[in-house]
Structure 1
Amino acid sequence: MCRFIPAILLCLLIFSCDKPRDKIKPTFGPISEFVYASVNIQPDSLYEVFSAVNGILEKEFVVEGDTVEPGQPLLQIINSNPRLNTKNALLAYDLAKKNLSGNSTILSGIKEEIETARLKLNNDSIYFKRQEKLWQQEIGSKVTYEQKKLEYELSKNQLELLQNKYSRTRNELETQLQQAYNNYKNSLIITEDYTITSKINGMVYALYKKKGESVTTIEPIASLGSASVFVIEMLVDEVDIVKLQKGQQCFVVLDAYENEVFKAVIHKIYPKKDQMNQTFKVEARFTDIPPTLYPGLSGEANILIGQKENTLSIPRDYLIEDSKVSTDDGMIKVQVGMENLEMVEILSGITKDTWIYRPSP
């Protein structure tokens, strides 16, 4: 049984086979090259607040959204340990002062030993000098003379030892006094740290604890940052980071402002790579500031890394295998320069008069 192709379908097949491929000539014009980055908005000077000690949150002086200034109280932590530590430090300081004072049993006892040793030395010196004169007159025995001389020298050494002991003990007591004073002052500072204050002019963006909850030294209890200045945190792929430098212009689109583009400038490039996502963090500041900003707003950015005013270029979808174009003379290899999502700069291989064809789908 014969089957016939309908006439209309046959015509469509014939015309589709004969349909010419799209062709164009390269054009001269401006071209720009960009690096893509994801965007997250954060306040400038953002930092998390930690407590210096463990305790219970007793009082909140601020709420989220409040503006604050340096030294302004934020939170009060209650813990009895600091007060006890301060009392103990004060007792140790008072004891160290007493040990160093003139009435101290430690130093006064050594002074009494020195005085006793001085009297003995004086007495031994008299007996020795007397025996020495007698010996010079050949009166008495040599044993007696040497015995008195030995007693005199021993008394002299004993006095020197006690005097050294006094100086050494006094130095030790002075050091202990200074250490006790430092510990006492430090305990006062730690006690003051229980009222946590702001370090900046800014805003309270988050409070992580409520009154009555326990507070530790290893978890943040609040988040503060600038109320008016925001930074653009961008994550850039490691293959693109070497193309960036401070001062380059950025074009930012935020999800909250879908149809608007805001200009910004790179002001900081972090040198450490995030091993988890193989990106580098880059910060930029708005030169064209959105009307309202909140921490955590997201979007994307295109960073301008190069620009030429008059260069030969072709549409990107006419490029084959990143370095070839289809022409009347067949496939030709070209050298490309700048490129973006739409256009590719052609440095050599074809001219403005070369017809190139769009690759077949």
Structure 2
Amino acid sequence: MPSDTSRIDPVTLALLSGILLAAAALFWPLLDVVILALSVAVVIYPVHRFLSRFMPGAAAAGATVAAVVIVLLASGAFVTLVLARNAEYLIGILGIIADWIAAPTLGEAGALLPIPQDDIAALFAGQAANLKASLSGTAALAPLMGVKIIVFFLTLYVALHKGAEAVKGLASHLPAAFGDAVGRMSKVTVDTLYAIYVVHVATSVITFFLALPFFYVLGYGHVLFYSVMAGVFQLVPIIGPSLIMLFLGIFALSIGDMRGAVLVALVGYPVVCALPDIYFRPLMMGRRASIHPVIMWIGFFGGLAVMGIIGFVLGPLFLALLVAGYATLIRGRRSGSAALILPESPELRSKV
């Protein structure tokens, strides 16, 4: 009886597993960057596939990575230019706020909104100290950050160039009974990553357009500047443009503009900050990922709390896979078969 050469020897499997675990332990500080690069590769893979029609796969992968670099550099340059053109304006506002902290005055509304000077000064002093410590820590980690950036783009290139081939090779060694379940999990992974990245950018664009009329009505000028900053801050997980509203609220109080302070509190924060996150983001993500928006939010907050910034991606992804696995199990039991042991008949398999 001929031997089954497709089976992997247990000793070889154990050796490969040991090497994989050892590599994960040794490269643990870079694991978040690798995972991030792989997730980005999944989202932009259609671009690589399109370019592969006109050039070799390696060149298409290089061109896709180059496009990502150009987009990131262009975005960074645009934000830097906007900040540079409004630097004097921001310095002036900071000067007004600093003077107000030294001697806070709220005009006629002071009796209605008492703010202890010592508390305000202590708050700003604490925030300044935290910012200084954060900048010092970032400067100390600059060499490691440079290495992580290089690893990110190299991993992104390899994933685009050889990722599909590696996935097909791995799938070819899986038992046939797992094929349907693996296919469903792959679809859930792609849809969830698409929802995380693409919807995240779409939410930032929505924030920009919601901010335009608000900052126009607010009346402090520099409408485009504030709107762009609101959209950029929306890309920062959890924090969002709330910092801008806090900044403008303090500025309104420092010049005695109670109308502006009320607008920021009752219109700016609910419409520009909360509405995109509470309504638009869950709506768009839920439609693409086909899971309840509340579960996505649990994934966001839980992932950030447990895994740090990479949890913004892995948290929703793991929960989406958990929901998909549960649905696969229920579907399999209802069809009279185990979730991962599917009928061999294509006709029956299509009904599962």
Please indicate the TM-score interval, normalised by the length of the shorter structure. under 0.3
TM-score, normalised by the number of residues in structure 2: 0.20
Q: Which has the higher contact order (CA 8 A, sep 6+)?
A: 1
Q: Relative to total residues, which structure has the larger strand share, 1 or 2?
A: 1
Structure with greater Cα Rg: 1
TM-score, normalised by the number of residues in structure 1: 0.19
Q: Relative to total residues, which structure has the larger helix share, 1 or 2?
A: 2
